[in-house]
Amino acid sequence: MRVLFFIMCLLLTLPGFTQERISKYDRLGLFAGSQQTHILDQQFSPLLYKAGEVSLGLYYEAEHHKSNWNVIMEAASGSLYPPQYADRQLYNTTEDIDGHITTDSFFVQGTTRTFNLRLGYSFDIIHTTDWELNIGGAGRNQLMYPESFVNIGIMNSASFLVTAEGKYRPNNRHQLSAGIQVPVMSFNSRFPYSGTVSTPNQELLQAFFDGGTHFVSFNKYTQVITNLKWRYALSQHTGIGIQYDFMWQQYTIPVTLKQYSTRLGVAFDISF
């Protein structure tokens, strides 16, 4: 973290390009970062679970004067466990026909798997040489499928988001931006209250979506996603950046699920 801050401060002292800022581009980028997630899923456990994850992403963004398009694919995975029982073990004792007793044990740690796919459009309501402010919408599917001793935090959410983002460019090398995303309607799928999807004549995946899917809005599903970004243009066609994200959500069907996560990472992009 200190190294990233030092590099950012150093690059901020460098002069910008002499030509005017280009307001039309198509950009393809890669993102990699470290993510910390906390989950409280009261349907399956009263314990707070924590995950340290590696996050990877591929994104495309385009700016054509005042119109902005973006497509983002992200995936994250890491170890999942309740911090107060990080070294929890299960034991299994067996005895063979000769009377020899063997005891096996293993640590009860799970694995998180998260995948996001988002397509968005926004329009600049403020567009000057230094400042931009845009508002828009996005369609997003978010799949959370942690694998653990209990079915903690499993949910699929297909949502329509309202988005807003502000950008500031002190010169043609540096860009600072801050954004927020809030879902206004969603089709959310979770395990039913019984914790199982054993429905006759149905496959596991089909029963999960048929039996646990609900159309919800603010009263049942609340989520806020914010981000801060800094981009440094290495040239007219390449750039690097630092990004911080925060996400908090709460879903009350069938029993309350609360989750928040923070992420810090770096990005590299090519404009064409």
CATH code at position 146: 2.40.128.90
pLDDT, position 93: 82
User: What span, in angstroms and rounded, lies between the C-alpha atoms of 72 and 228?
Assistant: 16
First to last CA, the chain: 31
Taking CA atoms, 41 is separated from 49, 101, 185, 219, 230, in Å, by 8, 37, 21, 18, 34
Nearest Cα residue to 232 out of 243, 246, 216: 243
pLDDT, position 200: 63
pLDDT, position 194: 62
- Tell me if 99 is assigned to some domain: no
- Tell me if 179 is assigned to some domain: yes
Domain that holds residue 247: 29-82+109-271
- Tell me if 144 is assigned to some domain: yes
- Tell me if 104 is assigned to some domain: no
- Tell me if 183 is assigned to some domain: yes
pLDDT beneath 70, residues of the chain: 1-23, 90, 105-107, 193-208, 211
- Tell me if 98 is assigned to some domain: no
pLDDT, position 202: 61
- Tell me if 134 is assigned to some domain: yes
pLDDT, position 98: 81
pLDDT, position 53: 96
Mean pLDDT of the chain: 86
- Tell me if 11 is assigned to some domain: no
Contact of 173 with 152, CB cutoff 8 Å = no
- How confident is the model over 47-63, as pLDDT tens digits? 899 999 999 999 999 99
pLDDT, position 143: 93
Number of domains in the chain: 1
pTM of the predicted model, to two decimals?
A: 0.82
Nearest Cα residue to 167 out of 181, 155, 179: 179
